[in-house]
A and B are shown apart, each in its own frame.
Chain A
């Protein structure tokens, strides 16, 4: 007697089941095959080449009509199964019932639709089957703009396909880097760069708010209120196992249909395979494990014992020119060791993750030839201790080539600017070296590079070393940290010269030896990026010290201090009352006048901060940034308003300076003061910038300090008008911000570059204007009161404990 087998879904998994059944037991089963799609099994993963035009549908059909006919399979294609009756053992299709002895559910998964307005509009397409693919091909034929929501495997293949068909494509991705489930940040960065090179726009950290349009999709609205025009919107944000039939039939369903290792569901006569199942809490989204499942399901049906074992699967992206590979677990950790290889010149990144003597993960970009070999080592759990040193070079290479510390410089294009002071590019320097300039002094004499502030000296030396090889003896300056061979100055120059605008870009292009930096380099790189690219770069709070993340100063007992700004040291009855009220309301243990002419509320609990800020904000008080690497205070004296010796309005100038400069991030803290006469009651001569008013104008001094080092300011310039005093001060701060090392106060930076250099730069009127403009541009983004931005419910939640379990009684 033949057994009646009904299969729901003619996809990649069930296709394999049928093949196995026929190989072992031809004619043993009377099969009815339902498929919602109006066709049989084709190679779904090859839809992307069909979309891009590299293949046609005919090329990817795996089982054609003849194939089913030969095996006497009753095909009910284009017919949805609507119900399973487990007591009567029948399946209901749109065209009637079929009885089964055994039932196989292989319904795959359905695209996840984000619950936003406009998702049902015509012109919004998901990417799952041939119909979707044909709809995209038809839409692309009309040209125009496509927005792909989702930067995972599917979204990117859709984007590449649409782009190769001539559409103007933008990919929106919610998290910070593409394909975050398969790639780390650096590989994600390289992928983004490659896609952008192909003309695809990629926006990461982009949250979609709605799809706009009257009769069809016309645009996509983002959470940040920006709007992108769109003739076609592709939703590729993820998939959900197609479990509706199983749920209705009362089978055990978690996220997927729960099956045993034999692929049997909670009903012994019903099996399930493919993306619709869940096994040991795991879902499946790639074909390799599904093929294993198919083999097991066939064996179970034939009464043979078999069990599914999940193996590591590897991912590749089928987009020509984007060569990536990922397998296993590549989260970093302490019991794990990373081996990182970066070749910025070739755009290659390889990272192996070892745990003990085993390889447990690999991410590769740009050169993935050895991917299969690494994948094998991961799957087999092979002991790699013997070849550890040369492992990263792959099976072919067992000599071991040292990582090249000069790679970043070697990779620079000829037109990259090395010396910012004199506008000298790499090409000119290498030409000079090749023409015989074989010492630093020769290069300086011939090109002027490194002859001004000297911060590019390291780079020029590296160029000498790269060009001359061993013939040049370089004295190695101190690198930032163990993650790199480059100094702070080198990195600053290279960020500008190569227009590096994200942390992963810095790590990759400058050849970092760690996957994502450490607590020493991360805050520095974060600052350099936001100083140089205030518009493009997004500040990373996780790369900041606690005080700058919480906008208050942490105390030894974990409480915080709150210091509102008092412009130029001025306050009012209203402000004082608001401060007094806040002190009472939040039980502030200590209220103190600081050395910076303002009031400190010490000992505030973290969870009280947002509410306290909201209260202070109502009285017009903003953050005093008493915690930041940025402008702290501008101390003033009473000046001409009241003092019998005052020569200029020192209080007024102090207030104006503070209002212009507050909120700016700088390499270290910046303090200023303005005194009304040389009696200097505001102690201006020991500040980073100190202005002493005299009858004939303003004497501006810079580079003072009164902390661990005691320094007198040195005269920068004397000007006649208040406007000039403002202009010079702003230009000085910007010059400091653009050039200094992270955590160097101005006096330390001036000692490195020389006061003459600073004076020369500021004496140049055009340069002064440029500096002021650059400063003002950055202020349009950063001059925002961080307290006001955090004085709401969301911040209150973020500052409160994640959970309070103190009330849960211990039983």
Chain B
């Protein structure tokens, strides 16, 4: 199964995010630098806040509802808060964003 093209890198503002709908729930796609992106679950483990709407700083995002901060690489909540968000393989190729098909519940061949 090949990687899924979900759009162009430039569809995401620098230090911003977009969301992608999947059968298993929404995924947040972050752009932390000119050509650096991450994909994680969109829902905050605290009370479900949409992480794609948070402020992106470094390789972290701050949840818009109650300011929990997550590391986008490991998915771990930072500081005193405890929780983890799922992270998904995502890569940039020729300006396109390619997502691991595992997000659809199937494995990359």
Contact = CB atoms under 8 A, between A and B. Distances in A.
Tell whether A and B belong to one assembly: yes
Interface of A: 175-176, 180-181, 255, 281, 331-336, 516-519, 522-523, 541-546, 549-550, 554, 556-558, 801-806, 808, 810-811
Contacts, number: 111
A373 to B, nearest CB: 25
A194 to B, nearest CB: 22
Given A542-B13, A554-B53, A333 B94 contact: no
B32 A331 contact: yes
B57 A519 contact: yes
Contacts of B105: 810
B58 A334 contact: yes
Contacts of A281: 93
Contacts of B26: 801
Interface in B88-109: 93-94, 97, 103-106
Interface string B19-53: 11111001001001110100000000001111001
B73 A333 contact: yes
B59 A332 contact: yes
Main secondary structure of the interface of A (DSSP, over half): loop
Contacts of B12: 802
Contacts of B56: 542
A558 B50 CA distance: 6
A556 B65 contact: yes
A641 to B, nearest CB: 42
Contacts of A181: 34
Nearest to B55: A519
B60 A805 contact: no
B20 A801 contact: yes
A542 B59 contact: no
A803 B55 contact: no
Nearest to A808: B104
Nearest to A799: B18
What band does the interface of chain B fall in when counting residues whose beta carbon is under 8 Å from A? Answer: 35 or more
A516 B34 CA distance: 14
A282 to B, nearest CB: 12
Contacts of B74: 334
Given A336-B59, A558-B48, A806-B22, 9 more contacts: A176-B14, A331-B32, A332-B59, A801-B20, A802-B6, A804-B20, A805-B4, A808-B4, A811-B106
A5 B45 CA distance: 65
Contacts of B53: 546, 549-550, 554, 558
Contacts of B58: 332-334, 518
B11 interface: yes
The 4 tightest CB contacts between A and B, nearest first, are: A333-B59, A802-B18, A803-B6, A546-B64
Contacts of A180: 34
B62 A519 contact: yes
Given A801-B18, A805-B22, A805-B104, A545 B59 contact: no
A805 B49 contact: no
B7 interface: yes
The residue among A281, A332, A558, A810 with the most chain B CB atoms within 10 A of its own CB is: A558
A4 to B, nearest CB: 37
A180 B56 CA distance: 19
Contacts of A516: 57
B104 A334 contact: no
Contacts of A542: 13-16, 55-56
A334 B71 CA distance: 7
A557 B48 CA distance: 7
Given A519-B55, A546-B64, A802-B7, A334 B18 contact: no
Given A334-B71, A519-B62, A801 B21 contact: yes
Given A557-B48, A558-B49, A801 B19 contact: yes
Given A542-B16, A808-B4, A810-B104, A333 B21 contact: no
